[in-house]
Structure 1
Amino acid sequence: MFDTLKNAWRIKDIRQKIIFTIVMLFIYRVGTYVPIPGVDSSYIQAIVEKGGLLGFFDMITGGAFANYTIFAMGITPYINSSIIMQLLTVAIPKLEELAKEGEDGRKKIAQYTRYVTIILAFIQSLGITYGLARGAIVGGTFFSYFLVALTLTAGTAFLMWMGEQITDKGIGNGISLLIFASIVSRLPVAIATTIQRTFVAKVQSVWSLPLIIVFAVLLIAGVIYVDLGERRIPVQYSKRVVGRKVYGGQSTHIPMKVNASGVLPIIFAISILSFPQTIALLVPNSGFANWVGSHFNQGSALYAIIYGLLIIFFTYFYTQITFNPVEIANNLKQYGGFVMGIRPGKPTAEYLSRISNRITFVGSLFLTAIAIIPIIASAVAKIPMYFGGTAILILVGVAMETSRELESQMLMRHYKGFLK
C-alpha cells in the first residue's frame, strides 16, 4: 500500500487528487472543533463518557458529538437515506426504472437521496437536541432548539457535499473516508484512556494490554485474509473463425470475492441501530427510553443479536444489487463463453447464483463474528469498545479500498498514455 502511495505521488494528476482529498479531510477535522453557540458541551460530554452506543457514535463522528459541534450528527443521516433509497428502488417500480436509465437515472436518485438526508438529519438533530441535550441548551426556548437543530442539519448537509466531492474529485469513497478519518482521530484518545485505566485508575489488568495488541493484530490479519479471498469460476471461450482469423479459444475466470460488500453492511447496521436511540431521546423518561437504556445498550445480548442479523441481511442485500448472475450468464453466452461443465444460459445463471449465495453466507458470518465477538469480549473483560472489531474492520477495509482505487487509477492512466 505504501509503495502504491509513493508511486501515485509521482503522477501529477493523481497527486492533485490526493492533495484535494487531504485538504477536504483537514477541513472536516477543523469543523469537528467549531462549537454551536448557546450549547454547554460539558453537559453532553458527561453523558457520552458513560459509554454505550453514544460513546461509539461519538467515535464515528471523530469526537464532534461529545463536543456538540456543527458536525455532531456526522454522516449517519446520509447513510440512512441511502439505505432507504436502495430499499425503495427494489420496492417501487418507478425508482427501479430510474436506476436502469443509466447516468441520468442515478443522478435523479442521488438528488432524492439528498432530500431525504436533509429531512432525516433535521428530525434526528431535533430529537437529540430536545431529548439528550436539553439541559445543555442555554435559554431552553423553542427558537434555541430550532436553531441548534438547523445548525446540525446544515453541518450534515455540508459533510454530504464534502463526501460527494471527495468521491468525484479525490481518491476513494468520500463517505467511507470521512468515517475513516473520524475513527483514526479517536485512536490516540483510546490509547490514552486504556493506559490511564491500566496504570492510574488500575481498573484494568496490565496483562490485558498485550492481549489487546494480539487481538487487534489477529483481527487485522483476518480482515485482510478474508477481504483478499475469492472464488474463481473457470470460463472457456469457444473458437470463432471470421474470415482467415480465429478469435476466442482462451481460458479465463470470474472472480467472486468472499467479502464483496466490504464494510458497508457494518456501516448500514450501525446506522439502523441508531434509530431506537434517537426515538428514545425524543421521549425521555418514558417506558421506551428506559427499555432502550437497560435492554438495548451496546453490551446487551439483544443488541448483539439484532446487530448480527442486520449485518447478514445487508451483506446479502448489497451482493444482490452488485452481482447479477443472469446478466453475467447472458454476456457469456453472447460472446461464446461458458463455465466448464455447465450449460450456457439459465443453468449458468443458477450455478453462479448458488455459488454467490454460499460465498456471501461465509462472508456475512465473518463480518458478524468480527463485529460481535469484540462486544462480548468487552462486556466480559471490561475493555473499551474503541478497540472493537467494527472500528478495525472499517479502518482496514477503507484503507484497502482506497489502495485499490489508487492502483486502478494508475493503471487507467498508463493505458491512456499508451493510447496517446
Structure 2
Amino acid sequence: MFSAIGRIFRTPDLRRKILFTLGIVTLFRLGSFIPAPFVDFANVQACLAAGENANGLYDMINLFSGGALLQLSIFALGIMPYITASIIVQLLRVVIPHFEALHKEGQAGQAKMTQYTRYLTIGLAVLQSTTLITVAKSGQLLGNANQACENLVSNEWWATLIMILTMTAGTGLIMWFGELITERGIGNGMSLLIFTSIAATFPNALWVIKEQRGWEIFFFVIAIGLVIVAAVVFVEQSQRRIPVQYAKRVVGRRTYGGSSTYIPIKVNMAGVIPVIFASAILYLPMLISQFNQPAPGEDPKAWVVWIQTNLVSGDQPLYMVVFFLLIIGFTFFYVQITFNPEEVADNMKKYSGFIPGIRAGRPTAEYLNYVLTRITTAGSIYIGIIAIIPLIALSFFGANQNFPFGGASILIIVGVGLETVKQIDAQLQQRHYEGLLK
C-alpha cells in the first residue's frame, strides 16, 4: 500500500493532478469561512456558539456546504443548487421528450444537458440566496432567542442585492472548481467537493460527542462508525451480474459479436437521491406549521401542534417511520427512471444479444424488471436503515447532537471515496501496470 502511494507521487503527471486537486479543495474550504458582504460575522459566530439553530430546516443544505450556510459565507449555498439542478434535469427526461432525445444523442446531447444544468443552477442559486438572506433578516435562521441573532445582515436593499450576487457568484465559482478538478485533476470534481464539505463536518461532530458524553461514548461511536463504514463499503460494491451473450454476425468480410459480457445491477442504484427527496418532503410540514403560528394571546391550532409534535423532530417514532417509507418509495421511483428494462432489452436485441435461457425482446425486459425489483427492494431497505441511524442516535445522544456516521453523509463519503480510489488506481495501472488495488 505504501509503495503504491510512493509510486503515485513519483509519477509526475499523477502527482501534478493530485496536487492540483488538493489546491482547488483548499480554495473551496477557504471560501467557506469568508463571510459575505454586509454580514455581521461576530453575531453569526456568537449565535452558532450558543446553539441557536433550533430547527433542522437547513441541516441538509448546511451539510452539503460544509457548515458554510449557517455562517453566511460567500460559499454559503455550497454545491446544493447544482445537485438540485442535476436531479431536476434527470427527472425532466420523463416528462419532456426533448431531454430524453438529448440523453440518447451521446456526448453532444450530454454536453447540451450539462449546459441546461448550469443555467438552472444559477437560477436556483439566486432563489436560494434570496430565501437565505430573507430568513436571516427575520431572525429565524439561527433562532430568535436574543436580539443579536436578529441582526445578522444589513437591511438595506442594495446590501441585500450585493449579498445575493455574491452568493450566486460563489455557486458559479464552485461549479467551475468542480469542472477544473474533472478536467485537470483526478476527475469526479463535483462529487469530490461534496465529499470535502461533508468530511469537514466530521471532526467537530465527533468532538462534540466527546465533550457531551465523555471518552467512553466517543470511542464507542468511533467503533460503531467503523462497522457502519465497512457494511456500507460491502453493500456499495455488491452487484448482480446478469450474463449476456452476443451472437456472431458477419458483415462483409468481418465477423462481429460472439463475445460474453454481463449487465451489472448494483444493490444501491439510487445512491443518496432518495434520502434527499425524503428529507425535502418531510421539511414541508415544518414549513407549513411555521407559516401558521398563532397570534399573541391565541392558542395554536390542533393540527399545527400535531405536526410540531410528530413530524418536526427526528427522534419521534412517526417521523422515523414516515422517513423510512418515503425513502423506499423514492428509491423505486428513481431506479425506474434511471434504468429502463425495455430500453436495455431493445438495445440487446438490436445488437444480437441475449440472456442465456431467456428469449430476446419482451421476455428479456420482463426478466430484467423482475431482477431489478428484487434487488431494489433490498437496496431501498438498506438505504432506509442507513438513513435512520442518525435519527436513532439523535434519541440516544440528545436533540442537539448530529451523528456523523449515517444518512446521506456516510453514503456520499463511502461512494465518492471508492470511486476516487478506483480512478487513481486506473491511472496508476496505465503507467506502472500495478495500482493501488491488487
Q: Distance in 2 between matches of 1:37 and 1:244?
A: 70
Q: Does the 8 Å CA contact 1:48/1:54 hold for their aligned counterparts? A: no
Give the SS at the match of 1:109. Answer: helix
Q: Does 1:399 align with 2:417?
A: yes
Q: Does 1:340 align with 2:365?
A: no
Q: Does the 8 Å CA contact 2:8/2:14 hold for their aligned counterparts? A: yes
- Paired positions, count: 408
Q: Does the 8 Å CA contact 1:234/1:339 hold for their aligned counterparts? A: yes
- CA-based RMSD of the aligned residues comes to 3.6
Q: Does 1:190 align with 2:194?
A: no
Q: Deviations over 1:129-153 (max 9, x none)?
A: 1123442345422222222222212
Q: Does 1:149 align with 2:167?
A: no
Q: Deviations over 1:81-140 (max 9, x none)?
A: 122222222101222222222223222222222222222222221122112344234542
Q: What is the match of residue 372 of structure 2?
A: 356
Query: Which residue type is aligned with residue 179 of structure 1?
Result: I
Q: Does the 8 Å CA contact 1:99/1:106 hold for their aligned counterparts? A: yes
Q: TM-score, normalised on structure 1?
A: 0.82
**How many Å apart are 1:328 and its aligned residue?**
3.5
Give the SS at the match of 2:271. Answer: coil
Structure 1 window deviating more from structure 2 (310-319 vs 186-195): it is 310-319
**How many Å apart are 1:260 and its aligned residue?**
2.8
Q: What is the match of residue 328 of structure 2?
A: 312
Query: Which residue type is aligned with residue 345 of structure 1?
Result: G
Structure 1 window deviating more from structure 2 (332-341 vs 393-402): it is 332-341
Q: Distance in 2 between matches of 1:151 and 1:228?
A: 40
**How many Å apart are 1:53 and its aligned residue?**
4.4
Q: TM-score, normalised on structure 2?
A: 0.79
Q: What is the match of residue 195 of structure 2?
A: 180
Give unmatched runs, 5+ long, in structure 2: 139-149, 434-438
Give the SS at the match of 2:201. Answer: helix
Q: Does the 8 Å CA contact 1:56/1:386 hold for their aligned counterparts? A: no
Q: Does 1:377 align with 2:393?
A: yes
**How many Å apart are 1:395 and its aligned residue?**
1.2
Say which of 64, 73, 85 aligns to 1:81: 85
Q: Does the 8 Å CA contact 2:245/2:354 hold for their aligned counterparts? A: yes
CA gap 1:39/1:298 in 2 versus in 1, 3 angstroms: farther
Structure 1 window deviating more from structure 2 (130-139 vs 292-301): it is 292-301
Q: Distance in 2 between matches of 1:216 and 1:38?
A: 40
**How many Å apart are 1:272 and its aligned residue?**
6.3
**How many Å apart are 1:309 and its aligned residue?**
4.5
Say which of 208, 212, 221 aligns to 2:221: 212
Structure 1 window deviating more from structure 2 (116-125 vs 20-29): it is 116-125
CA gap 1:122/1:394 in 2 versus in 1, 3 angstroms: same
**How many Å apart are 1:318 and its aligned residue?**
4.3
CA gap 1:335/1:128 in 2 versus in 1, 3 angstroms: closer
1 or 2 for the larger relative contact order (CA 8 Å, sep ≥6)? 1
**How many Å apart are 1:389 and its aligned residue?**
0.4
Query: Which residue type is aligned with residue 167 of structure 2?
Result: L
Q: Does the 8 Å CA contact 1:235/1:253 hold for their aligned counterparts? A: yes
Q: Deviations over 1:32-70 (max 9, x none)?
A: 111123212334524555473445543432221232210
Query: Which residue type is aligned with residue 196 of structure 1?
Result: E
Query: Which residue type is aligned with residue 341 of structure 1?
Result: G
Query: Which residue type is aligned with residue 378 of structure 2?
Result: V
Q: Does 1:71 align with 2:99?
A: no
Give the SS at the match of 1:232. Answer: strand
Query: Which residue type is aligned with residue 73 of structure 1?
Result: L
Q: Distance in 1 between matches of 2:278 and 2:184?
A: 28
Q: Distance in 2 between matches of 1:118 and 1:277?
A: 26
**How many Å apart are 1:353 and its aligned residue?**
2.0
**How many Å apart are 1:229 and its aligned residue?**
1.1
Give the SS at the match of 1:132. Answer: helix
**How many Å apart are 1:375 and its aligned residue?**
0.8
Percent identity for Structure 1 against Structure 2: 44
